[in-house]
């Protein structure tokens, strides 16, 4: 304990029991005038208590109040008392525990977000600036696989049911079996992982092109949206048919549960399928006879640079017939037209190369026009000139029917090679990632080997 100092200016006089007591000296402590004598035993006890108190005071000061001169961290902390050091140590310990806990929790939370949000929403492919997520691909792949699996099981059952009649030589059964077996072979080939994964991502790419196309047709041709978007009844009917197609022992509920789908996910895939069918119907109706037709000549080459060189030479030759004849024979890859000056003749819309038709059938085209370098649907490059235009020319019935049946595929080919098209390559890692492959049905399932029935020389068999 410190010594209390009393300044001279604050000295005072005290009166006790009527006696005058002199002020205390600054250097000498005033003793009481009279003291009662203490016994030796009492004095000894007092001294012992005083000594114990001094020891405790010294220990407390050393543990909590005194500076021990030892650093706390990297030479720092010599000026701190033991109590202060303990507080810093406790603070550091709890801070460290908090940081570790935060890091662990943060890692877990990030892992969950990454696994369930970030990774699924990564783009597997981009179509004209629109990203298609791998989660959308995963769901479409599961649906496409189940549709094909259901069809395969139906075909397998049909094939098995015909075998007894086939063995007996039933001609009708043999014919039916050959049809079923051929379809079964084709579907089994399509069920291979490499084919079905590419088919699923292509469906999603096509859907983006179809959505953009229907907007243009609505604006330019005043087509109603109902021409493309399926009705609720059509969706409900298709969903019911999909559920009914499951083979014995398998159910719709098992399918969506195993692949982590919702009923809405399946409806979305069905909507894509029906929208695609509606676009085919719409495009087929646009192909009629008679119709506006163009006659063209072209030179087809392997690279864009070679096509540009051919175009320069054609212009240098003033697009004369002689120049076309010489250059087509020298450079063109098209064996049917290279020896006749590149002449392709009349090309009804929907029957030629989609990339060439995009340019040739533009409303602004006129006879004599020379195209820029055109990238075509076969992956080669062309230079084209308009030879003639007929505003109303008949189309052969068989040619027209073939074009109508192939209307959607032809149109989609056009959209993929259009000058404004920008479709990235699908991420191959995501295409085949285990997380994206369906659990049910399994793409590695073993399918029966079937072949159409061939002649055996046995009576009754073909």
- CA-CA-CA-CA dihedral for 45, 46, 52, 58, to nearest 10: -170
Please say whether the dihedral angle defined by the alpha carbons of residues 12, 16, 22 and 26, taken in this order, is positive or negative.
negative
Domain 291-394 part of CATH 3.40.50.970: no
The answer to whether the CB of 258 falls within 8 A of the CB of 440 is yes
**Ramachandran quadrant class, 19 (left: phi over 0; alpha: psi -120 to 50; beta: rest):** beta
Token reading at 389? 């235009």
User: Residue 429: its pLDDT value, please?
Assistant: 95
CA distance 177 to 268: 35
Token pair 């579907």 is found at 187
Question: What are the two backbone dihedrals, phi and then psi, of residue 40, each rounded to the nearest 5 degrees?
Answer: -65, -35
User: Residue 376: its pLDDT value, please?
Assistant: 96
CA-to-CA dists, residue 141 to 81, 148, 154, 267, 325, angstroms: 70, 11, 20, 14, 50
CA distance 229 to 227: 6
User: Residue 55: its pLDDT value, please?
Assistant: 54
The answer to whether the CB of 150 falls within 8 A of the CB of 245 is yes
> Which DSSP string do the residues of 102-146 spell out, in sequence order?
HHHHHHHHHHHHIIIIITTTSEEEEETTEEEEHHHHHHHHHHHHH
Token reading at 2? 């410190």
Token reading at 268? 């979305």
The answer to whether the CB of 125 falls within 8 A of the CB of 427 is yes
CA distance 71 to 75: 5
CA-to-CA dists, residue 352 to 78, 224, 294, angstroms: 91, 28, 11
Burial-class residue 345 by CB neighbours within 10 Å (0-12, 13-18, 19+).
Answer: middle
Q: By C-alpha distance, which of 209, 198, 193, 197 is closest to 126?
A: 209
CA neighbours within 13 Å on the CB side: how many for 163? 8
CB atoms inside a 10 Å sphere around CB 405: 13
- Tell me how far the alpha carbon of residue 278 is from its chain's centroid: 26
Which residues lie closer than 8 Å to 404 by C-beta, 6 or more apart?
Answer: 284, 287, 350
CB atoms inside a 10 Å sphere around CB 40: 7
Token reading at 172? 């009708």
The answer to whether the CB of 357 falls within 8 A of the CB of 349 is yes
- Would you write out the chain's pLDDT as a tens digit for each of its 462 residues? 444 444 444 444 444 344 444 444 444 444 555 555 556 656 666 666 666 565 555 554 445 566 767 776 777 777 777 787 788 778 888 888 888 888 888 777 667 665 566 688 799 999 999 999 999 999 999 999 999 999 999 999 999 999 999 999 999 999 999 999 999 999 999 999 999 999 999 999 999 999 999 999 999 999 999 999 999 999 999 999 999 999 999 999 999 999 999 999 999 999 999 999 999 999 999 999 999 999 999 999 999 999 999 999 999 999 999 999 999 999 999 999 999 999 999 999 999 999 999 999 999 999 999 999 999 999 999 999 999 999 999 999 999 999 999 999 999 999 999 999 999 999 999 999 999 999 999 999 999 888 776 544 444 444
Token pair 């005072």 is found at 12
User: Residue 114: its pLDDT value, please?
Assistant: 58
- The model's pTM is 0.76
Cα distance from N-terminal residue to C-terminal residue, the chain: 124
Give the relative orientation of helices 171-190 and 134-167 as an angle to the nearest 10 degrees: 160
CB atoms inside a 10 Å sphere around CB 442: 12
CB atoms inside a 10 Å sphere around CB 339: 13
User: Residue 71: its pLDDT value, please?
Assistant: 76
DSSP 15: E
CA distance 455 to 123: 52
Token pair 């000295």 is found at 11
The answer to whether the CB of 441 falls within 8 A of the CB of 146 is yes
């Amino acid at each position: 304990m410190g010594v209390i100092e009393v300044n001279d200016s604050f000295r005072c006089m005290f009166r006790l029991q009527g006696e005058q007591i002199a002020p205390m000296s600054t250097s000498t402590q005033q003793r009481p005038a009279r003291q009662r004598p203490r016994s030796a035993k009492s004095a000894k006890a007092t001294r012992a208590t005083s000594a114990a108190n001094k020891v405790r005071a010294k220990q407390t000061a050393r543990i909590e109040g005194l500076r021990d001169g030892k650093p706390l961290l990297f030479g720092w902390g010599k000026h701190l008392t033991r109590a202060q050091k303990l507080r810093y140590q406790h603070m550091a310990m709890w801070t460290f525990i908090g940081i570790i806990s935060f890091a662990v929790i943060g890692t877990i939370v990030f892992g969950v977000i990454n696994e369930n949000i970030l990774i699924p929403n990564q783009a597997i492919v981009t179509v004209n600036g629109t990203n298609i997520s791998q989660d959308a691909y995963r769901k479409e792949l599961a649906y496409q696989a189940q549709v094909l699996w259901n069809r395969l099981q139906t075909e397998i059952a049909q094939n098995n049911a015909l075998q007894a009649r086939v063995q007996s030589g039933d001609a009708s059964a043999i014919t039916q079996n050959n049809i079923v077996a051929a379809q079964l072979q084709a579907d089994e080939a399509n069920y291979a992982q490499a084919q079905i994964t590419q088919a699923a991502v292509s469906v999603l790419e096509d859907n983006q092109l179809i959505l953009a196309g229907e907007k243009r047709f609505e604006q330019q041709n005043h087509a109603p949206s109902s021409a493309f978007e399926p009705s609720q009844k059509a969706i409900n009917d298709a969903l019911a048919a999909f559920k009914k197609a499951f083979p014995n022992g398998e159910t719709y509920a098992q399918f969506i549960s195993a692949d982590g789908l919702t009923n809405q996910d399946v409806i979305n895939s069905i909507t894509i399928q029906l929208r695609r069918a509606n676009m085919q119907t719409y495009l087929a109706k646009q192909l009629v006879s008679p119709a506006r037709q163009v006659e063209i000549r072209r030179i087809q080459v392997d690279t864009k640079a070679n096509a540009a060189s051919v175009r320069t030479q054609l212009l240098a030759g003033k697009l004369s017939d002689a120049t076309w004849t010489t250059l087509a024979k020298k450079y063109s890859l098209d064996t049917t037209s290279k020896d006749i000056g590149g002449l392709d003749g009349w090309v009804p819309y929907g029957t030629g190369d989609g990339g060439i038709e995009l340019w040739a059938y533009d409303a602004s085209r006129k006879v004599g026009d020379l195209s820029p370098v055109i990238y075509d649907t076969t992956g080669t490059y062309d230079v084209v000139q308009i030879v003639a235009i007929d505003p109303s020319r008949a189309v052969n019935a068989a040619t027209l029917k073939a074009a109508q049946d192939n209307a959607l595929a032809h149109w989609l080919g056009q959209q993929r090679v259009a000058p404004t098209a920008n479709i990235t390559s699908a991420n191959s890692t995501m295409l085949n990632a285990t997380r994206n492959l369906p659990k049910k049905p399994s793409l590695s399932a073993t399918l029966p080997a079937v072949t159409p029935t061939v002649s055996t020389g046995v009576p009754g068999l073909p």
